[in-house]
Amino acid sequence: MLKLRIERAPAPLWFRAVIPVIAVLATFILVSALVIVAGASPFSAFFELLINPLTKTTARADILMMATPILLTGLAVTVAFAAGYYNIGAEGQLYAGGMAAAWVGTQLQTESPFLMIPLMLIAGFIAGMLWALLPAILKVRLQVDEVVTTLLLNSVMLFLVSALLNGPWRDPVSGWPQSPTILAAAQFPVLIPRSRVHFGAIVAVVVAIVVWWVMSRTRFGIEVRAVGKNRDAARFLGIPVGNRILMAALISGGIAGLAGVGEVGGIHYYMTGTLSPGFGYTGVIVATLGFLTVPGAIVSALFLALVNRGAISASRELDVPVYLGDVIQAALLLVGLATLLLGRYRIRRVR
């Protein structure tokens, strides 16, 4: 008799590779009725959403551009979550980074991008760290729940930015609530001609490689993971638990700050209150879909960018409400998260 046993162990690699396909199929079945009611064919809707963007050069470039900030926030969240520190504040930290980049980019009088851009990145990283510092200290010293503090500080940051841009920092030329335009030297080079893929994409890839190396190959990384997996045992093993949480939280904030630098330096060229349509929160999804691994974060950032881009063209091509794209996207994410659970188990055949 054939006996099967379900175990809590990572599923075989081939199966984990199939999981996204399962998720897409399940979502397809779930939303078909809705798409039909909206007057479109589910097949063409999914084609527009997932396949068509990959066939066009401009759309492919858009995907890279859209993946840049969410890969960075995804990496930020990955580092924090790996330490068991639930940083939901990447959004606020992103804005902090954006502010710092805009400040350096408008104030520093230099024509050399080789000086300007590194300084913007450093300033953005530090600003993100500083915005992440308070909740991290509260967590380590007083066990204040970081989910609450980091989340609420996002609103504080948004109002702070809004106050600055409507007050002292308002662009004197246009009068709009946005910062003055950054200097030419501060504007990130475009990587692909006639697209908006900017230098920030390279920053994101470099950060991804560094995070991967630190988390998997260094003492600091394994200690952070140990703390995240079992705080008591980590302390028992002599790991300075509080310090590792603090460091992970600050690095996380810094990486999120880099996402803001990229948006200011590579997309807008000024600071604005609508710098991010929730990239910080999308980062949580990127990190979670990516199993808190760096390769996973890269894949899920690209995937989310694809779906995002696809939703835009699907609604345009099929003449269905834009919201339908959002519904499909949201359903896909929910189903994706649910099916990822499958990857945690394996079924073993036993005699």
Partner 1 sequence: MSVLEMRGITKRFGALVANDQISFDIEAGEVHALLGENGAGKSTLMKILYGLYQPDEGEIFVNGQRVSLKSPADAIAHGIGFVSQHFALIPTFTVTENVLLGHEKQPILQHDAMRRQVVETAEKLRFNIDPDAIVGHLSVGQQQRVEILKALYRGCRVLILDEPTAVLTPQDTEKLFSILIELQRQGLSVVIITHKLNEVFTISQRVTVLRLGKVVGRALTANTSQTELSQMMVGRQTIPVTRNIDHHSQNEIKLNVQNLAMADRSGAPRLRGLSLNVRAGEVVGVAGVAGNGQSELVSILTGMGQPQSGSAQVSGKAMPFGKPAALSQLKVARIPEDRLKGVIGDLSVADNLMLEQVGQFTRAGHLNRKQIREYAERLIRDFQIKAKPDDPARTLSGGNIQKIILARSLAQNPEVVIAAQPTRGLDIGATEYVHKKLLEQKQRGAAVLLISEDLDEILALSDRVLVIFEGAIVGEFDASETDIDVLGALMTGAAAEKVKIHA
- By CB under 8 A, name the binding residues for partner 1: 3-6, 8-9, 217-220, 222-223, 225-226, 229-230, 232-240, 348, 350
Report, in Å, the least distance between residue 146 CB and partner 1.
21
Q: Is 144 exposed, middle or buried (0-12, 13-18, 19+ CB in 10 A)?
A: middle
CA–CA distance, 83 with 227 (Å, rounded to integer): 6
Shortest gap between Cβ of 348 and partner 1 (angstroms)? 8
| CB nearer partner 1, residue 264 or residue 292 | 292
**What is the rounded CA–CA span in Å between residue 306 and residue 62?**
9
- 82/328 with CB nearer partner 1: 82
CB of 249 to partner 1, least distance (A): 19
> Residue 341 or residue 350: which is nearer to partner 1 going by CB?
350
Closest Cα to residue 310, out of 88, 14, 66, 2? 66
Q: Based on CB atoms, which residue is closest to partner 1, 60 or 346?
A: 346
> Is residue 221 a contact partner of residue 99, using CB atoms and an 8 Å limit?
no
Question: If you search the block for the tokens 């908006």, which residue do you land on?
Answer: 196
Amino acid type, 57: T
Task: Give CA–CA dist 50/305, Å, rounded.
Answer: 10
Residue 336: C-alpha distances to residues 18, 164, 300, 311, 333 (Å): 12, 39, 10, 17, 5
Closer by beta carbon to partner 1, 59 or else 342: 342
236 or 323: CB nearest partner 1: 236
Q: Shortest gap between Cβ of 295 and partner 1 (angstroms)? A: 18
Q: Which amino acid is at 18?
A: V
- Alpha carbon separation from 113 to 45, 57, 171, 331 (Å, rounded): 43, 28, 23, 43
Query: Whole-number minimum distance, CB 222 to partner 1, in Å?
Result: 6
Closest distance of CB 226 from partner 1, Å: 5
Q: Which is nearer to partner 1, 185 or 210 (CB)?
A: 210
Q: How far apart are CA 248 and CA 314, in angstroms?
A: 39
Q: Cα-Cα-Cα-Cα dihedral of 240, 245, 247, 252, to 10°?
A: 160
| Minimal distance, residue 217 CB to partner 1, in Å | 6
Q: Which of 319, 307, 300, 264 is nearest to 127 (CA)?
A: 264
The CB-of-282 to partner 1 minimum distance in angstroms stands at 26
Nearer to partner 1, 193 or 238 (CB): 238
Token readout for 132 is 């992440």
Helix (H) / strand (E) containing 76: helix 57-82
The label of the residue with tokens 């939901």 reads: 88
The least CB distance from residue 232 to partner 1, in Å, is 4
Which tokens hold the place of 230?
């079992």
Q: How many CB atoms lie within 10 A of CB 216?
A: 12
Nearer to partner 1, 1 or 173 (CB): 1
Residue 93: alpha-carbon gap to chain centroid: 12
